[in-house]
């Protein structure tokens, strides 16, 4: 019998950095008092995507996901994306809600020049205990015990509530392998002195109080609840005698220090004045490190899992490289560390000791030998309605939560997909004929080896299209293969497009300070791809049809000039047809 040793957890947070650092002045990465982050621009525009899962690791369809002032809804695969969103540079907060679940969230450090990814696993909101608010009492919950006093519960108006109270509860065990997906935020906290610190969790809980009629209840802040939380067995030896208590602040996406708990046997005992997510965490000073990961041929390695282990207590942090193969990690200062780089299948690509760091450290470039996992080779044939080969088009393949894309040329396409197992799973193929904008979606059971499916693209047309020519290069976004969005206000509108692929940071967006049929100057036009970026010089937008309600289309064209990062002016022309969503 093999016993897996479990370790305390902190979260390694990766700052998604840009492709053009050489063109910009870098902010100092040196740590300051208590691990406070260096100053950064207050608000930036960025793009995000991710996935929402339930407790069974299955995709959650129809979850509402918010970031800043923008809202999205997850699709059948649990995926969501934000092509353009304004967020604080110190942390983009993503929240996911679904009836019957606690609010899930993730806090990400982001940058304008790369697309960040988040995976959120929602916790079911189950009743774990009840008590009578008039008498109070002690309620035993999984790994936790809460003691209430009489008359402690209030309704939303602040009045004393008299009746039965149901406790919706979830215990978050830091030993769990999915802890990084179920916990809110990113295990950064703000200590009572105002310093930002990293956190090592020794136990976490989510609590809500619900009345007889389903109403949400709250505590009288003058009357605290006594909390006893079990310390996981593998953490008891390293658990400090006194530990700060932290609650999760949804607005900032950070944990806030509020009180403390003492170690009594195998439990932490403390008091809390309100309910949300609470955490028993030991803070530590943080510094930043960065590195670049390449394969043996010099190609970047995006989205690789990275572990950083603190060797003194075996606490482990997790993170991913961004779509440029770059990482900047916030890690414990003044401690020997061990860095492990994994591939998607869990194979170790690199394991290396890191000396204690007192300031920001650049580890340089690592070239890694990448083992070839099980492969699925797809050679497809594609015809149109008249049984003619599709001359030019695109195919998007959704396999195990990842999107892959290939070009259809003269009726055929070829693509090889990496898999970790040979089990049979569903693969969703969405194909587009560029000549007619017709598309079709088919689902097949696949394993490994080679398959030769045939497709007919006929009938259905794309939900939304942005079709541009920028400097004599075609740039096209087509929904549902891509994210094609409209953003409407009373006297303005914006259109954006981006691929549904985590490793592709391409996106296009333009906006107009009017919303009527006719021609107007674009107030903004931005286009970015992995090698360059372009901004507005003189672009005119002609609207031929406006959408008066959701489901109708905004239709028009674009023409003018934009400039690249070297101030070279290039022409842009194109058309758009985008569905109104609200």
Residue 391, pLDDT above cutoff 80:
yes
User: For 2-11, 263-272, 445-454, which range has the lowest pLDDT when averaged over its residues?
Assistant: 2-11
- CATH of span 126-284: 2.60.220
Retrieve residue 470's tokens: 């920028």
SS3 content of the chain, % helix, strand, coil (to 5): 0, 60, 40
- Which segments of the chain belong to CATH 2.40.128? 464-579
Domain with CATH 2.60.220 in the chain: 126-284
Could you please report the per-residue DSSP string of 365-410? Answer: EEEE-----EEEEEEEEEE-TTSPBPSEEEEEEEETTEEEEEEEET
Give the per-residue pLDDT at 58. 79
Q: Is the pLDDT of residue 436 over 60?
A: yes
Structural fold of domain 464-579: Lipocalin (2.40.128)
Region 515-530: mean pLDDT is 88
**Quick one: average pLDDT of 271-283?**
93
Whether 551 and 561 have beta carbons less than 8 Å apart is answered as: no
Mean per-residue pLDDT for 549-567?
89
Q: Is the pLDDT confidence value at 204 over 90?
A: yes
**What is the rounded CA–CA span in Å between residue 132 and residue 149?**
10
For residue 323, pLDDT over 90 is answered with no
Query: Please, which residues bridge with residue 319 across strands?
Result: 306
| HEC profile of 134-202 | CCCEEEEECCEEEEECCCCEECCCCCECCCEEEEEEEEECCCCCCHHHHCCCCCEEECCCCCEEEEEEE
What fold does the segment set 374-456 form as a domain?
Immunoglobulin-like (2.60.40)
Position 278 scores a pLDDT of 95
Q: How many CB atoms lie within 10 A of CB 307?
A: 16
User: What is the pLDDT, as a whole number, of residue 280?
Assistant: 94
Strands 188-190, 196-210: parallel, antiparallel or unpaired by DSSP?
A: antiparallel
Is the pLDDT at 385 greater than 50? The verdict is yes
Q: Is the pLDDT of residue 402 over 90?
A: no
From 7-11, 62-66, 81-85, 507-511, the region with the lowest mean pLDDT: 7-11
* Average pLDDT taken over every residue of the chain: 83
The pLDDT of residue 39: 38
Residue 310: predicted pLDDT = 86
372 vs 484: which has the higher pLDDT: 484
Q: Exposure string (b/e) for 524-561, b if CB count within 10 Å is 16 or more?
A: ebbbbbeeebbebeebebebeebbeeeeebbbbebebe
Q: Higher confidence at residue 51 or residue 6?
A: 51
The confidence score (pLDDT) of residue 225 equals: 96
Q: Quickly tell me which residue has 């049929």 as its tokens.
A: 517
Q: Are 141 and 81 in contact (CB under 8 A)?
A: no
Q: Looking at residue 21, what is its pLDDT?
A: 22
For residue 30, what is the DSSP state?
-
| pLDDT at residue 15, rounded to an integer | 34
- Per-residue pLDDT of 246-272, as tens digits, reads 999 998 899 999 999 999 999 999 999
Residue 447: pLDDT over 80: yes
How confident is the model over 416-444, as a mean pLDDT? 86
In order, the DSSP letters of 493-544 are EEEEEEES-TT---EEEEEES--SSEEEEEEEEEEEETTEEEEEEEEEEEEE
pLDDT at 38: 36
CA dihedral 213, 219, 224, 226 (to 10 degrees): 30
Question: What is the value of pTM for the model shown?
Answer: 0.58
Taking a C-beta distance cutoff of 8 angstroms, is the pair 375, 403 a contact? no
Contacts of 385 (CB under 8 A, 6+ apart): 438, 456, 457, 458, 459
**What is d(CA 256, CA 569) in angstroms, rounded to the nearest whole number?**
48
Is residue 8 pLDDT above 90, yes or no? no
| pLDDT over 70, % of the chain | 89
| pLDDT surpasses 50 at 13 | no
Contact (CB, 8 A) for 30 and 40: no
Which ranges in the chain are annotated with CATH 2.60.40.1110? 374-456
Q: Please state whether beta strands 277-284 and 79-88 pair in parallel, antiparallel, or not at all (unpaired).
A: unpaired
pLDDT (0 to 100) of residue 502: 45
What is the tens place of the pLDDT at every residue in 18-48? Answer: 222 222 222 222 223 334 333 333 678 787 8
- 202-223 mean pLDDT: 93
Which pLDDT band holds residue 530 (cuts at 50, 70, 90)? low
Highest mean pLDDT among 138-152, 165-179, 470-484: 138-152
């Amino acid at each position: 019998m093999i016993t897996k040793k479990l370790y305390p957890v902190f979260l390694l947070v990766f700052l998604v950095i840009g492709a053009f650092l050489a063109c910009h002045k870098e902010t100092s990465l040196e740590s300051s008092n208590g691990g406070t982050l260096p100053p950064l621009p207050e608000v930036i525009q960025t793009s995000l995507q991710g996935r929402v899962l339930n407790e069974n690791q299955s995709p959650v369809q129809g979850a509402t996901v918010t970031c800043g002032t923008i809202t999205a809804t997850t699709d059948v695969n649990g995926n969501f994306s934000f092509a353009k969103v304004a967020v604080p540079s110190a942390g983009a907060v993503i929240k996911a809600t679904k009836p019957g679940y606690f609010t899930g969230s993730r806090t990400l450090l982001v940058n304008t020049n790369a697309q960040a990814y988040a995976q959120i696993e929602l916790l079911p909101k189950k009743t774990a205990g009840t008590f009578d608010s008039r008498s109070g009492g002690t309620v035993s919950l999984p790994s936790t015990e809460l003691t209430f006093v009489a008359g402690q519960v209030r309704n939303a108006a602040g009045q004393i509530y008299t009746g039965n109270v149901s406790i919706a509860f979830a215990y978050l065990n830091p030993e769990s392998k999915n802890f990084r997906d179920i916990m809110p935020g990113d295990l950064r906290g703000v200590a009572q002195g105002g310093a930002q610190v990293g956190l090592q969790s020794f136990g976490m809980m989510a609590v809500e109080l619900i009345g007889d009629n389903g109403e949400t209840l709250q505590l009288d802040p003058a009357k605290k609840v006594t909390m006893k939380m079990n310390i996981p067995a593998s953490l008891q030896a390293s658990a400090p005698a006194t530990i700060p208590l932290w609650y999760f602040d949804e607005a900032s996406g950070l944990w806030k220090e509020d009180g403390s708990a003492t170690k009594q046997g195998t439990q932490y005992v403390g008091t809390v004045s309100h309910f949300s997510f609470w955490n028993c965490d030991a803070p530590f000073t943080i510094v930043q490190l960065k590195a670049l990961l390449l394969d043996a041929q010099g190609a970047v390695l995006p989205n690789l899992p990275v572990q950083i282990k603190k060797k003194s207590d075996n606490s482990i942090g997790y993170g991913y490289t961004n779509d440029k193969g770059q990482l900047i990690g916030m890690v414990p200062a003044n401690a020997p560390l061990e860095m492990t780089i994994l591939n998607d299948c869990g194979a170790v690509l690199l394991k290396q000791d890191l000396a204690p760091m007192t300031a920001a450290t650049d580890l340089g470039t690592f070239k890694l030998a990448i083992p070839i996992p099980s492969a699925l080779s797809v050679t497809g044939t594609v015809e149109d309605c008249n049984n003619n080969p599709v001359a030019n088009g695109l195919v998007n393949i959704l396999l195990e939560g990842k999107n892959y894309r290939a070009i259809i040329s003269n009726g055929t396409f070829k693509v090889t997909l990496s898999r970790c197992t040979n089990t049979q799973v569903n693969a969703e193929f969405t194909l587009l004929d560029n000549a007619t904008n017709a598309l079709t979606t088919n689902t097949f059971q696949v394993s490994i080896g080679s398959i030769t499916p045939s497709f007919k693209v006929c009938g259905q047309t794309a939900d939304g299209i942005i079709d541009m020519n920028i400097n004599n290069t075609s740039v096209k976004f087509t929904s549902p293969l891509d994210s094609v969005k409209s953003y409407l206000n009373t006297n303005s509108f914006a259109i954006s497009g981006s691929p549904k692929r985590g490793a592709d940071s391409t996106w296009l967006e333009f906006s107009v300070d009017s919303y009527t049929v006719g021609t107007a100057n674009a107030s903004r036009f931005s286009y970015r791809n992995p090698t360059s970026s372009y901004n507005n010089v003189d672009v005119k937008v002609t609207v031929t049809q406006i959408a008066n309600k959701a489901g109708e289309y905004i239709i028009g064209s674009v023409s003018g000039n934009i400039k690249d990062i070297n101030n070279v002016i290039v022409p842009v022309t194109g058309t758009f047809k985008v569905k109104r969503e609200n």
